A and B are shown apart, each in its own frame.
Chain A
Amino acid sequence: MKRKILSILLATCLTAGLVGCGGGNSVSVSVTEEVSASTETPASTEEAKELDLSERVDLVFYVMGEAPQDEELVEDEINKILLDKFNATVDMQFSTWTEFQQKYTQEITSQGADLIYIANWLSFGQLAQSGAFVALDDLLNTVGTEVRDLVGENALNMCSVNGSVYAVPNTWAEYTSNGIKYREDLRAKYDLPVPNSLENMEAYFDGIMANDPSQGILTVTTEESTGLQTAFDAAWVLNIKYPWVATNGLPYGLAANYDTPSDVYDYWFSDDFVEDMKMLKRWADKGYWSRSALSDTNKSDAYKTGLCVAEVAGQNPNKQITAIQELEEGGEGWESEYIAYGEVTKAIYPGHATQNGTAIVNGCKNPERAMLVLQAFLCDEELNHLISYGIKGTHYDVVDGIYENLSDTFPYEGFNTWNLRNGDTKLPQKTDVKLQEYFDKYDAIAKTTKFPNVNIYDGFAENYEDYTAERQAVSNVMRTYLAPLQAGLVDDVDAAVEEFRTKVKDAGLDTCREGFEKQWAAYCDAYGYK
């Protein structure tokens, strides 16, 4: 008797457990089912373009990051306008930066939000493919014509997956071109060349070492280089030599030039690679970076505090602007200058459209209204400024066309609505003037490239499900063998290169490359990047 009860209990528990485990799957299934359902609904509204606004709709807008202190105050102000115009309200919800990747997918699975921030670093491509968002094509042609015309076909195309548009990008082209940030005051003081090539960089570093032996040169670690392109931060300087399609080349030691993206070539097994490693070894021997660089932690304040005279990895114009401000505040007369690698190689491009965008979450009960509100946020200057900068007079003011913050309680873009930046109406900050100078400079070069203003690589999403194990193994080999090689911590470069090549081949490099190249070729083909 007892045993029977126990076995029945066990059985029920097991099934309960299994049902519980399956829960996650069944949710995503229902999501995909609804895709087809909701893509059909807009068709009916096509005839009746005048939307029925009689029923009040409360929307949730999910964005990344932290909420500002005056969240409610600004929301109330926004909702006053929204209620008046569209009989709708918006509640901003914030992911916070803790476990945000997980929470972001949960938010989509639980269909808690209506409008949601999207970006390529939040796996927009994969999510769109699995049916997380509402296809916007019909909505854009019915209720969202204004925003469609504002954003433009080109940018919308970049946000399309399998032929349907799933997101509305912002309309402010920004350049996040990596480059080298260096101390202009020291360069001028010792009359050194501008570090706009590998030779000049070396001369700049050498000059500073000769004049002030106690001055540190670079504080490079492995932290900016955790991907499959490079393993040590100092190796980022090589970008000044090659007009690659992406920073640090393509994954798995492959590379392609920006002008010929579909023409993939082998970098790790080329003579250039050996030569580059020898150069890095020379730099290491000169003492540009510490012998323990591989195990050091990233000191983001090093440049500001004068521990190093240049930063070469993970830099961009915006970081340069921050550095200018910080050095100014430091009050020691230090100056920072910036050279984007792309300026030298002439392969420069703005961020991809999917860098900052907005999508409508599948399961949203009123996609039309969501689209209307989104359109207003982007196109309506009053609303756009309200949601981006807060209440004029309380949180900010405009002096000579420049944004000026009045209160800590709602900073610039306090709702983290980078996806709602409108290039035409965006209020520049004081620092944006300088930033815009950089952008204009890059824009001029970008226009002369073969693919003007297209960030080719960032639109590509690799699907490595078939070779996850090999990929992991390659990544491990890179950390163990490539990192010391690039950090110049080996005695014999040729032997170390040979060892790295053998090990990485053994790890399954060819499988990864094959898988990657196939997808990359298909991608280039689909978008016409020949």
Chain B
Amino acid sequence: MDNTKKKVKIGAAGHAMNAIAFILLTLGSVICVLPFIIIVSGSFTDNTTILREGYSLLPRNITLSAYRTIFKAPQDIFQAYKMTFIYTILGTGIGLMVITMTSYVISRNEFKYRNQVSFLIYFTSIFGGGMLPWYLMYANVLGMKGKMFPIWFPALMSPFLVILMRTFIKGSVPDAITESAKIDGAGHVTIFSRIVLPVLGPGLATVGLFLALGYWNDWYRASMFSVNSKTWTLQFYLYDLLNASTAIKQMSQNSSISTKDLPTESVKMAMAVVATGPVLLFYPFVQKYFVSGITVGAVKG
């Protein structure tokens, strides 16, 4: 309405301030974007050119050979993509459910041992059984080596996310609301699903994004518990390609192993593009929730 009037009111100092802010922010975003552009252009550049002349902003001697190398065995990479999607969807879905319900319970005042339970959850973030017992638990006691289960299950809940969610619920759902619902005859299930859940939007988005990113980026559990490539995640598939080249290079010092056909510089770049691509597409859509959610958690946490 009177937007025009407001604009007029900005004085010279305000303009200068805006100009500085715009310049700084532009510079900042350029600095953030540049490396990625170099990676993308490197992935299209001929490997010898990279070695001789270094990286550049625009690809020279454009070739698709790096992508051809990566997609040489497409069934493997598609399988890895598929598994990553399965783990991410399964893990994020179940994880969100479990985390929200746990947080709801420990955020309720009528739950007598809420502080003790919170403490127990918090405690696991400081003390753990250690790597080897953890591994033996899944591999030997549960006999889960080579299955999908130990790859998505261990990351379902993290103390940090539970506490974040608890703080969020406490902040956005006043006791009065749930109490009045109770008076109207609502049980915990109704309160949780019809009153609490609907206002948790930003919190769910934040926790969901944390979980999803964690699952998307995970390679460690796939590395530990896989016995063949059927359960590999995408990140592990790509990471392992790189590791294989380093290891083979090292081993070939002491052993007769062929060092031909190791991934080249441009292949490494192409891998980074393949691995980050989907996340880049996905990120802008949840970003607004992400920002508001994380500040909500931070201020009151």
- Residues of A whose CB lies within 8 Å of any CB of B are 5-6, 9, 13-14, 17, 20-21, 23-24, 27, 65-67, 69, 71, 93-94, 96-100, 103, 106, 109-112, 121, 174, 176, 224, 299-302, 305, 307, 314, 316-319, 322, 325-326, 351, 355-356, 412, 418, 435
Contact = CB atoms under 8 A, between A and B. Distances in A.
Nearest to B246: A97
Given A5-B116, A9-B120, A67-B229, A351 B243 contact: no
B260 interface: yes
B99 to A, nearest CB: 21
A190 to B, nearest CB: 22
A260 B257 CA distance: 31
A98 B258 contact: no
B236 A98 contact: yes
13 contacts: A20-B130, A21-B130, A24-B130, A27-B136, A65-B244, A69-B73, A69-B76, A94-B228, A106-B224, A109-B136, A300-B259, A316-B253, A322-B259
A302 B51 contact: yes
Contacts of A412: 258
Given A13-B123, A99-B223, A110-B139, A318 B252 contact: yes
B20 to A, nearest CB: 36
A455 to B, nearest CB: 10
A121 B133 contact: no
Contacts of A94: 227-228
A6 B116 CA distance: 7
A325 B227 CA distance: 34
A14 B124 CA distance: 11
A111 B223 CA distance: 18
Contacts of A97: 240, 243-244, 246-248
Contacts, number: 134
B128 interface: yes
Given A20-B133, A21-B130, A301-B51, A322 B260 contact: yes
Contact of A351 (B116, B130, B220, B254): B254
A318 B257 contact: yes
B256 to A, nearest CB: 4
Given A69-B73, A418-B257, A435-B256, A109 B132 contact: yes
The 9 closest A-B pairs by CB, nearest first: A20-B129, A23-B133, A97-B247, A24-B132, A97-B244, A17-B127, A318-B256, A97-B243, A98-B243
A93 B113 CA distance: 47
Interface of B: 47-48, 51-52, 73, 76, 113, 116, 119-120, 123, 127-130, 132-133, 135-136, 139-140, 145, 219-220, 223-224, 226-229, 236, 239-240, 243-244, 246-249, 251-260, 262, 264
Q: Which of A17, A103, A317 has the most CB of B within 10 A?
A: A17
A301 B136 contact: no
Nearest to A9: B116
Given A71-B228, A98-B223, A23 B256 contact: no
B227 A93 contact: yes
A13 B51 contact: no
B174 to A, nearest CB: 26
B196 to A, nearest CB: 27
Contact of A110 (B136, B219, B252): B136
A110 B243 contact: no
Contacts of B127: 13-14, 17, 20
Most-contacted residue by chain A among B228, B256, B257 (CB, 10 A)? B256
Given A66-B244, A176-B253, A301-B48, 15 more contacts: A9-B119, A13-B123, A21-B133, A24-B132, A27-B132, A65-B244, A97-B240, A106-B139, A110-B136, A318-B252, A319-B259, A322-B260, A355-B255, A412-B258, A435-B256
Contacts of A224: 253
Nearest to B72: A408
B264 A301 contact: yes
A366 B128 CA distance: 35
Contact of A106 (B119, B135, B259): B135
Given A97-B244, A99-B223, A23 B255 contact: no
B79 to A, nearest CB: 12
Nearest to B145: A112
A96 B76 CA distance: 15
Given A176-B254, A351-B254, A96 B130 contact: no
Contact of A305 (B48, B236, B256): B48
A307 B139 CA distance: 48
A412 B261 CA distance: 14
A170 to B, nearest CB: 11
A423 to B, nearest CB: 12
A131 B255 CA distance: 26
Nearest to A91: B227
Contact of B260 (A23, A305, A325): A325
A112 B144 CA distance: 12
B223 A96 contact: yes
B81 to A, nearest CB: 17
A103 B145 CA distance: 12
A20 B128 contact: yes
A93 B139 CA distance: 14
B52 A305 contact: yes
Contacts of B257: 318, 418
Contacts of B236: 98
A322 B259 CA distance: 7
A27 B253 CA distance: 34
Given A65-B244, A176-B256, A17 B228 contact: no
A305 B257 CA distance: 21
A224 B246 CA distance: 12
A39 B243 CA distance: 37
A110 B140 contact: yes
Contacts of A435: 256
Contacts of B123: 13
A300 B220 CA distance: 28
Nearest to B239: A98
A195 B258 CA distance: 25
A98 B232 CA distance: 12
Contacts of A305: 48, 51-52
A174 B253 CA distance: 12
Contacts of A66: 240, 244
Given A5-B116, A13-B123, A300 B262 contact: yes
B240 A13 contact: no
A71 B226 CA distance: 15
Nearest to B75: A69
A402 to B, nearest CB: 16
B226 to A, nearest CB: 8
A13 B128 contact: no
